[in-house]
Amino acid sequence: TMTEVYRPLYLNQAPLVFTTRRTSELIKYAANAFLAMKITFINEIADLCERVDANVQDVSRGIGLDGRIGSKFLHAGPGYGGSCFPKDTLALAKTAQDYDAPMRLIETTISINDNRKRAMGRKVISAVGGDIRGKKIAILGLTFKPNTDDMRDSPAIAVIQTLQDAGAQVVGYDPEGMENARKVIENIEYASGPYEAAAGADALVIVTEWNQFRALDFNRLKQSIRAPILVDLRNIYRSDEVRKHGFTYTGIGTNLYQEATGASDSSK
C-alpha cells in the first residue's frame, strides 16, 4: 500500500525502508537523538569559541561544507526544546539502560542541554553587569522555535527562571505563544509587542528567532529602553550593526573584543 501511495512521486523508486517494528522505532529515536547531539556539539564549540578568540558561525559554515557533516542543525543557541528531541532522547537513553546497553553520548547530551538553558540565563546576568536584582529584563520569544505556539521544554522557561531567581523582573513577548506561556511561566509581565516589552528595560534578550525580531528598529528601541543592552541568544544580528546604534551586544560563540576592535588572533 505504501509503495503504491508514493510511486507517483518518484521516477524510479520511492525512498521506502521496510523493516521490523522495533527497528523502525529505533530509527526514529536514533535520528532525533543524533540531531539533538549535533545541536549540543555546536553549542559546546560556541563556548570554546568565546574563550579561544574564534567565531562559531564561521566554524559552523566551515564544517558544514563537509558533506559528511552537513550544514543543518549547526546553529549555536540556548539549547533544544520542543516535543520531539527531549522526549526521544530520554526514551532512547531509558530503553538502552533497561536493556543494559547504556548510551553515554545521549545521556551526556541530555545533561549538557539541560544545563545550557540555565547557563544562558547566567549569560544575560553577566551581560547586565552581574547583578540584576530589581532590574527589568525583556524577553523576546517564548516558544521553543518560531512559527509555533509550542512551549514544551522551551529554553525561555529556564532562562526566565534563572533571571527570576537572581531577582529580576521579567517582561515577555511572543507572537504566538503567550497563551501557552501563561500556563507554564509564572510571575512575569506580558507585553503586546517587542517595543512595549523593551520600554524601561535594563536589557533586551532574544531567545526565539521569530522573523518579527529580525528587523527591529534600534533607534526606536533606544528611545524607550533604560539600558541599551542586547543579548542575542540566536545570533540574529551582527554585532557591528547593533553597536552603531549605541547598544552593547552579546551573542553566542564570538569573541566580543575581536568583534568590537577588528583585532585578529595572534596566529595571523
Q: Who contacts 221 (Cβ-Cβ below 8 Å, separation ≥6)?
A: 195, 198, 204, 228, 245, 247
Do residues 170 and 189 make contact, with C-beta atoms less than 8 angstroms apart?
Answer: yes
Candidate list 45, 63, 84, 199, residue with the active-site label? 84
Q: Is 84 among the catalytic positions?
A: yes
Q: How far apart are CA 252 and CA 238, in angstroms?
A: 11
> DSSP readout, 33-51?
HHHHHHHHHHHHHHHHHHH
Q: Is the dihedral of CA 73, 77, 78, 82 positive or negative?
A: negative
CB-count burial class (<10 Å; 0-12, 13-18, 19+) for 41: middle
pLDDT at position 88, please? Answer: 97
Do residues 40 and 107 make contact, with C-beta atoms less than 8 angstroms apart?
Answer: no
pLDDT 10s digits, 114-158: 999 999 999 999 999 999 999 999 999 999 999 999 999 999 999
Q: What is the pTM of this model?
A: 0.89
CA 135 to chain centre: 23
Give 204's DSSP letter. Answer: E
Query: Residue ranges of the chain with pLDDT lower than 50?
Result: 257-264, 266-268
Residue ranges and CATH numbers for the domains of the chain are 21-113 (1.10.1040.10), 118-261 (3.40.50.720)
pLDDT at position 256, please? Answer: 53
pLDDT at position 21, please? Answer: 96
